[in-house]
Structure 1
Amino acid sequence: MTNTEIQTKSDNKNRKLMLSILFDLIGYASYGIPLVAELTDIVWAPIAGFLLARMYKGTVGTVGGITVFVEELLPGVDFIPTFTLTWIYTYLIKKEGEK
């Protein structure tokens, strides 16, 4: 593997981490708007599911996309940072970037 390939993988990994944190923060934003939170979650849930499935390919993306969709729709559990947890699973537990 060349230095350029290693750098590209590292950049992609860091980019996904930043996007994951951003998308989790967007999901948390509904807590700042009392009584409207459920409506914003209804709008955000399919968007979040689509984004996560696009960011992480294969089974991880599919399962993560469904999980974040359901999590955003269920009251009381949308505090879980699903995007960031998916990144942790992909790059720290599964260690995808090392293959």
Structure 2
Amino acid sequence: MNNKYKKLAASLVLDAIGFIPFLPFDLIWAPLSGYFMTKMYKGKEGKIAGIVSFIEEILPFDFIPTFTLMWIYSYVINKRKNEELIEN
């Protein structure tokens, strides 16, 4: 399996974990979520995504699939931008 699809699978699992509606769990999960995000996605984008992930998870009622959105940004949106730069 390709590395990008392993990241997609991991993203889906991590987002599913983040949807567990239990406040004490969120207090533990939020920093872990931010940490995992920075390890999965390097550079400035990964750091920003880590902060966003932490904030989103620490708030009650988190419902944004942050990891999956970052995967889409990295492998779909950003890929198109990189391909356009190469063509020009």
TM range (shorter): 0.7 to 0.9
Q: Match for 1:85 among 66, 69, 73?
A: 69
Larger radius of gyration: 1
SS of the aligned residue for 2:24 comes to: helix
Structure 1: gaps of 5 or more residues: 1-9, 32-36
Q: Match for 1:72 among 52, 57, 65?
A: 57
Distance 1:45 1:73 in 2: 5
Instruction: State TM-score, norm by structure 2.
Output: 0.86
Distance 1:70 1:61 in 2: 14
Who is 2:16 aligned against?
Answer: 25
Q: Does 1:14 align with 2:2?
A: no
Structure 2: gaps of 5 or more residues: none
* 1:38 CA displacement: 1.0
* 1:73 CA displacement: 0.8
Report the residue type matching 2:57 in the other structure: E
Distance 1:62 1:81 in 2: 17
SS of the aligned residue for 1:90 comes to: helix
* 1:59 CA displacement: 1.1
Number of residues of Structure 1 aligned to a counterpart in Structure 2? 83
Shift >6 Å, 4+ stretches: 96-99
